[in-house]
Structure 1
Amino acid sequence: MKKIEAIIRPEVFVAVREGLAEEGIDGLSIYEIAGCGRQEGRTALFRGSSYTMEFSPKLKLEMVIEDDKVQAIIDVILKEASTGEVGDGKIFIFPVEQAIRIRTQEVGSVAIN
């Protein structure tokens, strides 16, 4: 099993979510986050004054999936989340040693389905 964490732009979430659903991924966690990277913030206007926003709003998606689905999920995220601009985000993949469903005490890949 693998855990995939993807940092994406909020405006691409609907397309990413639809692509994940087509691949059979219906369980994921979503967090609203803010971060900075190469885009180094942006200038915004508030009540006629400009200021620099150091952090850009992003969404963090987390899902634990079976090993054989990893490449399909990566392909969906790359296709649907890419705008070609700086700040599109990142994908991180981690090994998962074990998963346990608390309610039934099921263990392994059956616990994540």
Structure 2
Amino acid sequence: MKKIEAIIRPEMQNAVKSGLEAVGVVGLTIHEVQGRGAQKGLEFVNRAGKFRVDLLPKTLISIVVPDEEVDKVIDAIVQNARTGEPGDGKIFVMPAERAIRIRTGEEGDQAI
């Protein structure tokens, strides 16, 4: 099993969620977060001068899937989150050692 965490633009959340459903992923957790990447936020200029917003709103999607589904999940996220502009986000893949469904006690792939 792998845990996939995707940090995406908030406005792409519904598209990514639909793309994941299309490949059979329905279980996910979504968090509203703030962060920044290499661009270090955004700089704006107004009448009062320049100011920088260094933490931007982002959406963090967490999914645990069997090993054989990792590539199709990543493809679904990339296809539905990409705008081609800086700030599209990142995807991280980590091992998930164990999963247990609390209601039934099922473990492993059956629990996800």
Q: TM-score with structure 1 length normalisation?
A: 0.91
Q: Secondary structure at the match of 2:91?
A: strand
Distance 1:18 1:45 in 2: 36
Distance 1:8 1:45 in 2: 25
Distance 2:41 2:63 in 1: 28
Residue 23 of structure 1 aligns with which residue?
A: 23
In structure 2, stretches of 5+ residues that fail to align are none
Q: Secondary structure at the match of 2:31?
A: strand
How many residue pairs get matched? 111
Distance 2:64 2:21 in 1: 14
Structure 1 position 38, deviation (Å)? 1.4
Superimposed CA distance per residue, residues 39-87 of structure 1 (whole angstroms, 9 cap, x where no aligned partner): 21113479x6453111111000001001111100110111111111111
Distance 1:66 1:9 in 2: 26
Distance 2:8 2:97 in 1: 26
Q: Secondary structure at the match of 1:68?
A: helix
Structure 1's 68 and 87: CA in aligned 2 closer, same or farther, altered over 3 A? same
Distance 1:57 1:24 in 2: 27
Pair 1:61 & 2:61 matched = yes
Pair 1:81 & 2:81 matched = yes
Residue 13 of structure 2 aligns with which residue?
A: 13
Distance 2:11 2:19 in 1: 14
1:28 partner amino acid:
L
Runs of 4+ in 1 over 6 A off after TM superposition: none
2:87 partner amino acid:
G
Residue 91 of structure 1 aligns with which residue?
A: 91
Q: Secondary structure at the match of 1:51?
A: strand
